[in-house]
Structures are given as structure tokens and as C-alpha cells.
Amino acid sequence: MATIAVLGTFDTKGEEHAYVASLIRARGHHTLLLDVGILDTPGVPPDISRTEVAAAAGVDLAALVARRDRGESVAAMTRGAPLLVSRLQQEGRIDGIISLGGGGGTAIGTAAMRALPIGFPKLMVSTLASGNTAPYVGVKDIVMMPSVADVAGLNRLSRKLLAQAAGAICGMVETQVPVAASDRPVIVASQFGNTTPCVTRARALLEAAGYEVLIFAATGTGGRTLESLVESGLVSGVLDITTTEWADELVGGVLTAGPTRCEAAARTGVPAIITPGCLDMVNFGEPASVPSRFSGRRFYHHNAQVTLMRTTPEENAELGRILAGKCNLSTGPITVVFPLGGISMISAPGQPFHWPEADAALFGEWRRHLRPDIRVVDHPGNINDPAFADLCVAELLRNLTLARKA
């Protein structure tokens, strides 16, 4: 018997949410109705009122209603709903969530869903589900189901589709995933083309040691997904070889993963290895896409669609300070490993991004600002030397052992 949250704007779509809730209960499950409507009286009595949702965001509902500003109302509920739903999940009060909506309802519903861990059943029936859903889904496993027609009353079409949606969320919460005898603890790793040899070797060594390794491309979305998976509690260790997304975040490239990249393992205490892989490069598209302010910089044309720009000593110094700050958040065992012979394929001696002064600025500022109790290990070779991968794996296994003994 599960409890499924039914979240929606009950002032405009109360009838539809009540219908879905009744079908969920007919399947033997409980429902918890959350109202995120603002402007009019809810069409169905909620279990959690709009006042409670607004309060979670620190918003005075009465003042908000008086202004009757729909945009402001949606923004307030978009802040409050994730906080409230996340708390309900952490307290074990809900086992799945479903929402129905147009533009505003979809914004609120998916914001709440993105606050929930991967693997938690989430279903959004939306008028926007046939378009670009990336802003709504983010890096979470939200199922977006097209409503086909607007969510506006019960009719021959909507009753069928909403009944199927109710059946879908019930099926999701009812499904038990068999645990295979071969299931192993999970390690997540970050990779770029310029660090592939390192990560490939490390993966083989970790698999031989009894771990399952999931590799994420450091392309912005990949980094955000890695962080989200670590936050979900499904990960035993992090092999963060490729932190290049921070170069894009700082300098203005196209593959940024946002300002919280490299925080999940630190904050959750998951054992980790972190290296400056590919912090020598900022990513852009075709050459014409590079902003004019970077004229005169050192570039490498990876292919017709990818232009790489070398980071400068000044940028690398700042990156060192930033990454030290992220490491300093660590509550679990972490090791920083520096490849002194180059942080990518193309920064090795003789390669186009070889710039020892820039690397030295990165390493130096990272060390200078790092907490003194955090372990730092140097390797004399390039990041793709087999011995560097071996060292990273040895350090991660060491940290995993320390975590088990803690």
C-alpha cells in the first residue's frame, strides 16, 4: 500500500486531479492532495493547503492573493512546492507523485519533482510534454506524458488519458525491482575525450575490484547528472577525473554544469577522488561561435563543431581557488591527485595546450587554499599515463576502506 502525492492547481484543475486521485484509491493506494493554486477557491479539498505550500517558501499567502499576480503566484509555488515535497519524501510520507497542468502547473509540478531523488516515481501530465522538456525534466527521471488536449475538464478523451496516467503512477510505485545477485556497489566517474584513456583503465581496475562503474561525459548535463546521482544515495564512490565543466562555468564556455558542480560528494560524505582533468580547456561550438572578446587566445579545433580555448594562468589560479573551496566542503574521505605532466592529452609536452605556467598556477592555488587535512598526491606524468589511473584507483579504494571503518 503506497501513498501517492497528487499535486496541482486545484482552483483551475481540481476536478481533473480529484478524478486521478479517485482512480489511484480504487487501485488500493492512498493519496495526499497538495494544492498549489492561488487565485480562486480550490475545487477539491486538499490534504496540504496552498497556505502551507506558500509558507514553505516564506511567502505570505494572503498578501500574494491580494495582488492577484499570476506570474508571482507561480514563482512562489515553484519555490515552496519542492521544499515541501522533498520533506514529505524524506519523512517517508509519500511513495510517488503525479501532477497535471498547463504552463504554470507544469512549472510548479516539475520543480517539485526535480527535488526528489532518482528512482522515486514521478509523472507529469502536461500540455507541454510534446515539446522541449529539458527545462522541466533537468537531470531527473520525470516521466512527461502529453495531455493531448488541454487539461480542462473531463471528457471522452481526458478521462481515458488521465485514467492511464493514474494507472501508470500506480504501476510505478507497485513495481519491485529484482536485486540481481551480481549487483555491485556503484562508482561514478567523469570523462572527456581528452581523459578517456585514464578513465577506461580506471574502470577496468575498479570492476576487477568488485565495483560497477557508471561514466558520465563532462558536458554540462553529464556533470549535473553525476551530482544528482550522488545526492540520491545510490553511489558508493566518486572518481571525478574530469572537472572541466568548471572552466566553462568560470570563463563562459558552453558546457557548464553550474556553480554546485563538485559539491555532492563533499556534502554527502561519499568517498571521492578529484583531479583537474581538462581544466586547460573552455568549450565552444564552431569557430564563429567564439565570442569576439576572446580574440587572440590560444585555440584548438577539435572538430568542425567543437572549438577548445586554452585557459590562462590567471583563470587557472581562480579555478584552483574554486576547486579547493569545493573540496573543503568534504565530510568524507577525499584525495586530490595532480598529474604534473599535463591535465589532458593536448596539454602534454609538445602538444598545443602545453603551458606549464598555467598548470602551475592551477596546482599552486588549489594547494594553497585547500584544507590542511585533505590528502594531496602528485603524479609526475600526464593524466592519461596508466600509472596515473592506477594511482587514482588506489586512492579511491583507500578512501572507500576509510569510509567503511568510520
Q: Which residues contact 69 (CB under 8 A, 6 or more apart)?
A: none
Sign of CA dihedral 23, 25, 27, 30: positive
Return the pLDDT at 177.
Answer: 81
State the residue for C-alpha cell 510534446: 130
Please check whether residue 102 is in contact with residue 70, taking contact to mean a CB–CB distance below 8 angstroms.
no
- What is the average per-residue pLDDT within 79-87? 96
Q: For 1-127, where are the alpha helices, taking DSSP H only?
A: 10-26, 50-56, 61-67, 70-90, 103-114
- What is the average per-residue pLDDT within 10-28? 96
Return the pLDDT at 329.
Answer: 98
Nearest to 317 by CA among 258, 367, 278, 272: 367
The pLDDT > 70 percentage for the chain reads: 99
* Per-residue pLDDT at 181 exceeds 70: no
- Distances in Å between the Cα of 152 and the Cα atoms of 158, 242, 382 are 8, 47, 61
Query: What confidence tens digit (pLDDT) does each residue in 386-406 have?
Result: 999 999 999 999 999 999 987
Give CA–CA dist 160/284, Å, rounded. 46
Return the pLDDT at 401.
Answer: 97
Give CA–CA dist 160/138, Å, rounded. 28
Question: First-to-last CA distance in the chain?
Answer: 36
Helix (H), strand (E) at residue 300? strand 299-303
Q: Which residues contact 252 (CB under 8 A, 6 or more apart)?
A: 282, 291
The DSSP annotation for 95-151 comes to SEEEEEESHHHHHHHHHHHHTSPTTS-EEEEETTTTS--HHHHTTS-PEEEE-SS-S
Give CA–CA dist 155/11, Å, rounded. 19
From 69-78, 216-225, 313-322, 337-346, the region with the lowest mean pLDDT = 69-78
Q: What mean pLDDT, rounded, does the chain reach? A: 94
- What is the average per-residue pLDDT within 65-74? 77
Query: What confidence tens digit (pLDDT) does each residue in 349-385 have?
Result: 999 999 999 999 999 999 999 999 999 999 999 999 9
Query: What confidence tens digit (pLDDT) does each residue in 38-68 have?
Result: 878 898 999 999 999 999 989 887 877 777 7
φ, ψ for residue 63, nearest 5 deg: -65, -35
Q: For the purposes of burial, counting CB atoms within 10 Å of the CB of 404, is it exposed (0-12), middle (13-18) or buried (19 or more)?
A: exposed
DSSP structural state of residue 48? B
Return the pLDDT at 19.
Answer: 97
Return the pLDDT at 166.
Answer: 97
Domains, the chain, with CATH or none: 3-174 (3.40.50.12020), 186-405 (3.40.50.12030)
* Per-residue pLDDT at 196 exceeds 70: yes
Return the pLDDT at 180.
Answer: 66
Return the pLDDT at 183.
Answer: 77
- Give the model's confidence band at 309: pLDDT under 50 very low, under 70 low, under 90 confident, else very high: very high
Helix (H), strand (E) at residue 318? helix 313-327
Q: Which residues contact 86 (CB under 8 A, 6 or more apart)?
A: 115, 116
Return the pLDDT at 291.
Answer: 95
Give CA–CA dist 362/319, Å, rounded. 7
More confident residue, 39 or 230: 230
Which amino acid would we find at residue 2? A
Give CA–CA dist 321/311, Å, rounded. 15
Q: What angle do CA 317, 322, 327 make, to 5 degrees?
A: 125
Nearest to 391 by CA among 399, 328, 402, 371: 399
The pLDDT > 90 percentage for the chain reads: 83
